[in-house]
A and B are shown apart, each in its own frame.
Chain A
């Protein structure tokens, strides 16, 4: 039976399901136990599964990552929470130098099935370091998966698959839409593929490519564009590493126009990689230049001005109008 849930609820349901399903799944992080996490993503797990499976750690992010790696090398499946994405940097060395490489380093003898979860992105008027979009750092690293859900159903299915996956996964949860949308989701343990983009809306005139919270802005833009007779296709990339370029290229080859939308700063963002793939594989099908609607190359502004750094529906519509006018 389907349950109406928020994205945050979906994370919680998936964690409950995964822990029930596999006794090797261990939750660890700061305040994840009796407090249930600062966003309550791990609520109820401590009560249900006890202190040997839900571990409140000392306050040290590199430790959370390094510990998870060691635990995974003994066959456990740690799901580690970083309280905010902006606090993941001390763990960068552990994730990049070890979690991502242990399989290759040992020619498959050892592997690190760890999920590194973190709330992600801006839009909740939080202090500095609580509103970042660091996905490009991780999407550059061989051996990692980078997954960002955009809805309750995606969060549920993708998190379950991430936990079941034998390789390390960075799982960023768009906190701006943690509680914004509700959706009916079957709590049936079904995972979603980690190697495919999702086409959320089919269209013929332009492809809007996005992930995380920005997907809603893309969908909002598509709805308004429809009123102007413009038929937009919307792709939720969801898995940024490894990325499903086939779906993206097929869509752009069909529509001939593409807008890539992400909250992270533009330079070196994953949008650049997507643009390059499109240019390499369907340049001759393009009817307009590739365009990006992204955050600027600035430190994420504080609460008073953060909305100026986050792509908005109006900006996406403007970008579409621009490339159509330039024909």
Chain B
């Protein structure tokens, strides 16, 4: 019998900084953009702002002022790295805890609070840079195909842009995820597929999600490159995503990037991770905190000081407080709006129901 190896594959892993913020390979040069401390300081500021926002949002939820909320605690380097790598003309297709990226895209904290406070207005992004970005997507993994469709439109129009979609480790078990990998390979789409592997899909750990050694290797079955990056290393994330986007802009095809990170929070405020997750594991994950890592790097290179840190914390909490104030003063969603946007033009049968509803509202005063 013939027994030849007909194909061989490998998955690369990328990382610049260790958990202590030191260069893993001291002789290696950082990418040019990362040699500029001002750029890294700005990324650091955004990570701190994202965390301040998450903390405040959870506090609001706990006091009944916000609905169920999924924190991005511990995943800030992934989202800020993506946000910084995206060009204005790209299209961002999020899952549902991607504020870090969204804030950079121009989505406001007010809009994010409005969304989780229970109003669709929160997804009517006002910033021109976010106008074409997708709203949050709750059915897991289904957004991947929308990104592929956006990337198809981009390709058909021969534009120098790309779509970037995020999904979680759980999302990679969905058919829509695989179908996205497949079509993006066949059609060489302008697409970057980011797997934000935070190790937990609510209570299901990564190892119970798939027997595959990496999630990145799922790309290989679709004939497209897949790689892993340390998702808690801002420099590595931003660098790898930038490269993948540049390739996509130039029509070089899609890339899957699995960012290895950790969900330091509960799944959402409605979840209690202590039911299924060991304390030790969480404590160990905190040793790998992405914010501490970048701060340490900046400290080590005298590009950050305790004083600057104190000021930043102050500025961030003021910024968040201001957004929260505005959110709390915002009038509630107007009831008749529930009928307004079902169709471009309201059908007669629906208008009848709306009139019935409004009459009832009036009766009840």
Q: Are B182 and A73 in contact (CB under 8 A)?
A: no
Q: Which residues of B contact A245 (CB under 8 A)?
A: 349
Any chain A CB within 8 A of the CB of B342? yes
Band of interface residues on B:
35 or more
| Complex Cα gap A72–B344 (Å) | 15
Q: Are A67 and B344 in contact (CB under 8 A)?
A: no
Partner of A111, one of B131, B144, B344, B350: B344
Q: Which residues of B contact A107 (CB under 8 A)?
A: 120-121, 123-124, 337, 340-341
Any chain A CB within 8 A of the CB of B365? no
Chain B window 120-153, contacts with chain A (Cβ cutoff 8 Å), 1 for yes, 0 for no: 1101110000011011010100101111111111
A109-B131 contact, Cβ under 8 Å, with A70-B147, A104-B120: yes
Q: Are B341 and A58 in contact (CB under 8 A)?
A: no
| Complex Cα gap A74–B148 (Å) | 11
Any chain A CB within 8 A of the CB of B261? no
Q: Are B342 and A69 in contact (CB under 8 A)?
A: no
Q: Are A74 and B150 in contact (CB under 8 A)?
A: yes
Q: Taking chain B's interface residues, is the majority helix, strand, or loop, or is none over half, making it mixed?
A: helix
| Complex Cα gap A74–B152 (Å) | 9
* Closest partner residue, chain B, to A239 (CB atom): B347
Q: Are B179 and A62 in contact (CB under 8 A)?
A: yes
**Distance (Å) between the CB of A145 and the closest chain B CB?**
8
Q: Are B149 and A66 in contact (CB under 8 A)?
A: yes
Chain A window 106-147, contacts with chain B (Cβ cutoff 8 Å), 1 for yes, 0 for no: 111111000000000000000000000000000000110100
A66-B124 contact, Cβ under 8 Å, with A103-B341, A195-B348: no
Any chain A CB within 8 A of the CB of B183? yes
| Complex Cα gap A108–B175 (Å) | 29
Q: Are A70 and B120 in contact (CB under 8 A)?
A: no
| Complex Cα gap A60–B347 (Å) | 33
Chain A window 35-77, contacts with chain B (Cβ cutoff 8 Å), 1 for yes, 0 for no: 0000000000000000011010110101101111111111110
Residues in B96-133 with C-beta less than 8 Å from chain A: 120-121, 123-125, 131-132
Q: Are B156 and A70 in contact (CB under 8 A)?
A: no
* Closest partner residue, chain A, to B136 (CB atom): A105
Chain A window 233-246, contacts with chain B (Cβ cutoff 8 Å), 1 for yes, 0 for no: 00000000011111
Q: Are B146 and A69 in contact (CB under 8 A)?
A: yes
A195-B347 contact, Cβ under 8 Å, with A70-B148, A73-B150: yes
Chain B window 318-358, contacts with chain A (Cβ cutoff 8 Å), 1 for yes, 0 for no: 00000000000000000001001111100111100000000
* Closest partner residue, chain B, to A111 (CB atom): B344
Any chain A CB within 8 A of the CB of B154? yes
Any chain B CB within 8 A of the CB of A94? yes
Q: Are B342 and A73 in contact (CB under 8 A)?
A: no
Q: Which residues of B contact A16 (CB under 8 A)?
A: none
A73-B134 contact, Cβ under 8 Å, with A93-B142, A103-B344: yes
Q: Which residues of A contact B121 (CB under 8 A)?
A: 107
Q: Are A70 and B131 in contact (CB under 8 A)?
A: no
| Complex Cα gap A62–B174 (Å) | 11
Q: Are A143 and B343 in contact (CB under 8 A)?
A: yes
Chain A window 144-168, contacts with chain B (Cβ cutoff 8 Å), 1 for yes, 0 for no: 0100000000000000000001110
Chain A window 300-319, contacts with chain B (Cβ cutoff 8 Å), 1 for yes, 0 for no: 00000000000000000000
Partner of A72, one of B134, B149, B347, B348: B149
Q: Are A26 and B156 in contact (CB under 8 A)?
A: yes
Q: Which residues of A contact B132 (CB under 8 A)?
A: 73-74
Q: Are A66 and B179 in contact (CB under 8 A)?
A: yes
* Closest partner residue, chain A, to B349 (CB atom): A242
Q: Which residues of A contact B175 (CB under 8 A)?
A: 60, 62, 90
Q: Which residues of A contact B124 (CB under 8 A)?
A: 106-109
* Closest partner residue, chain A, to B165 (CB atom): A70
Q: Which residues of B contact A53 (CB under 8 A)?
A: 156
Q: Which residues of A contact B22 (CB under 8 A)?
A: none
A93-B139 contact, Cβ under 8 Å, with A63-B183, A108-B124, A167-B344: yes
| Complex Cα gap A297–B103 (Å) | 52
Q: Which residues of B contact A62 (CB under 8 A)?
A: 145, 175-176, 179
| Complex Cα gap A143–B347 (Å) | 10
Residue ranges of B at the interface with A (Cβ–Cβ < 8 Å)? 91, 120-121, 123-125, 131-132, 134-135, 137, 139, 142, 144-154, 156-157, 163, 175-176, 179-180, 182-183, 186, 337, 340-344, 347-350
Which 10 A-B residue pairs are closest in the complex by CB-CB distance? Answer: A70-B149, A66-B145, A242-B347, A74-B153, A63-B179, A70-B146, A107-B124, A67-B149, A166-B344, A71-B149
